[in-house]
Amino acid sequence: MKRTLTWSLMPVALAICTAFPAPAMAQSNQELLKELRALKARMAELEKKLEAQAAAPTPAPQAAVAAPTAPAGMTEEQQQEFNRIAVKTEALEDSRDMLGFKGLKVSGYMDPTFIYNRRQDRAGFQFLNSVGEGGYTYDDSYMGTVALDFLKETDSGARWHLTLSPQRSTQAVSEGSNSILHEASVSIPLSDLQTRFIAGHIPDWSGYEYLQPTLNKLVTHNLLFDLTLPTAYTGAGMELTRDKWIIKSVLANMNGSKRNAREKTPVLAYRVDYAKGEFQGFGFAGVHGMAANNSENVLDGSGEVVAQRDSRVDLFEFDAYFIRGDWTVQGQLSLGRQKKAAITADPDTGALRDAYWTGFSTLAAYKFEPWLEGIARFDYIFNKKNGGGLLTYATPDGINGIGPDQLSGDANKGVNRGALTLGLGYNFNLNTTFKFEYRYDWATGAVFEDAKSGGYKKNNQLLSTAVVVSF
């Protein structure tokens, strides 16, 4: 009966869909789906009544004293309402499909932030600041952002993913531009939905912390995230899901959508995750190949810096998480090397030397109440060899605290970096979180530039707060 009714109403549905006014055609996907669900629920209720009427037995003859009772069913008005709902439902479905709303999910977030940086003698609100205004520093990495995310899945299972974030996108960070492109990727199923081809501009997947403030418990990120990991990959590869394992890898350009002249070798980036149930798991990631070398240790005859060709990078990190009751524990171990990218050259020959580093980060969080969470994080990086040097950091950095001790005079010995961060997260509602953070950074030498005195100190302090609103 339902199929017969549907086919008989197709001309009417098409006529109504064609006659829809502009405002109705411009309804958002969410509004259309909400009304569609309500209409389908009403249709289901009316169909049950029709089925009950058809299945009801014929009343047996009764004595004259008992008047016959008609079975419950649709009245003429109910039948008209049912027909109207059926026509409108089909029209709404056609309109949704025509506008491309089918399988489309739209989400977004923003996190206006306030930060006080003691050594920089700076305090103020941070929101959508340009990377070009001061580069990438741990006190402004991916906070103070806004992003709009579009995820579209077709009937074939292909996924189209686009994320836009003005000023603080991965492409803006990696290329120092004003690009709003944060992610643009496709995922296409091959033999089955668990075997996929992936391609495009993909944010880095290393570590237990994420770029999005909605997935990061604190305001700032850990030292490994900010100073030792890639930003994004532009390339293509595969993603496999097998039982509790997810494996993905790409051949790509690292931290750049275009290679320079005479550069042809990409990197191999991979990520493997294992989830043992919902509350614990581990993963590891690696990058091996050629990446930009920012060394400024070679000068020409006029004293100008000679730009270096890409050099070999090898990165590996392991991370894990454990959630039990009100407790969350996360951790990460990392090590890396970049050829010819140390901060200081050989003092005798002037030859470029390799940069090496290892480090770890651990985080523990406890929910005092369902809406109130306390967080503590501890980070440390070992970076003394050859004057120091981390991924993309081949020169001293007085804000991030990288390089040799500026007071000792020993340019061959870098410093180790540590950070202790304490914070609170207050979930005001399902879409709003307030964050509060105190952070103490230190080094084994004087590497933090002090804006007041013009000298260098061994430590720094940050105070920050942010409100994260998402939909």
Widest Cα–Cα separation across the chain: 121
pLDDT at residue number 96: 78
pLDDT at residue number 19: 42
- Report pTM: 0.80
Q: Please list, in sequence order, all residues whose beta carbon lies within 8 angstroms of the beta carbon of residue 368, skipping any fewer than 6 positions away.
A: 326, 374
Opening angle at CA 122, ends 120 and 126, nearest 5 = 120
pLDDT at residue number 85: 86
**Taking all residues of the chain, what is their mean pLDDT, rounded to a whole number?**
88
Tell me, letter by letter, the H, E, C secondary structure of the chain.
Answer: CHHHHHHHHHHHHHHHHHCCCHHHHCCCHHHHHHHHHHHHHHHHHHHHHHHHHHHCCCCCCCCCCCCCCCCCCCCHHHHHHHHHHHHHHHHHHHHHHHCCCCCEEEEEEECCEEEEECCCCEEEEECCCCHHHCCCCCCCCCCCCEEEEEEEECCCCCEEEEEECCCCCHHHHHHCCCCCEEEEEEEEECCCCCEEEEEEEEECCCCCCCCCCCCCCCCCCCHHHHHCCCCEEEEEEEEEEECCEEEEEEEEEECCCCCCCCCCCCEEEEEEEEECCCCEEEEEEEEEEEECCCCCCCECCCCCECCCCCEEEEEEEEEEEEEECCEEEEEEEEEEEECCCCCCCCCCCCCCCCEEEEEEEEEEEEEEECCEEEEEEEEEEECCHHHCCECCECCCECCCCECECCCCCCCCCECCEEEEEEEEEEEEECCEEEEEEEEEEEECCCCEECCCCCCEECEEEEEEEEEEEEC
pLDDT at residue number 36: 64
By the 8 A CB rule, do 110 and 147 touch? yes
Confidence of residue 55 (pLDDT cuts 50, 70, 90): low
Q: How far is CA 282 from CA 94, 274, 365, 434, in A?
A: 44, 6, 18, 28
Per-residue pLDDT tens for 288-335? 999 999 999 999 989 899 999 999 999 999 999 999 999 999 999 999
pLDDT for 68 beyond 60 = no
Q: Please list, in sequence order, all residues whose beta carbon lies within 8 angstroms of the beta carbon of residue 289, skipping any fewer than 6 positions away.
A: 254, 265, 266, 267, 268, 312, 313
pLDDT at residue number 175: 82
Confidence of residue 358 (pLDDT cuts 50, 70, 90): very high
Mean pLDDT of 12-33: 45
pLDDT for 67 beyond 50 = no
Mean pLDDT of 131-142: 86
By the 8 A CB rule, do 415 and 385 touch? no
pLDDT for 129 beyond 70 = yes
Confidence of residue 70 (pLDDT cuts 50, 70, 90): very low
CA dihedral 154→232→210→468, nearest 10 degrees, is -80
pLDDT for 373 beyond 80 = yes
The torsion region of residue 36 among left (phi > 0), alpha (psi -120 to 50) and beta comes to: alpha
Mean pLDDT of 345-366: 96
pLDDT at residue number 5: 37
d(CA 453, CA 439): 22
Mean pLDDT of 425-439: 98
pLDDT at residue number 65: 45
Confidence of residue 60 (pLDDT cuts 50, 70, 90): low
Per-residue pLDDT tens for 168-208? 899 999 887 888 999 999 999 999 999 999 999 999 999 99
Helix 2-18 vs helix 76-98: crossing angle, to nearest 10:
60
Per-residue pLDDT tens for 36-50? 666 667 666 766 766
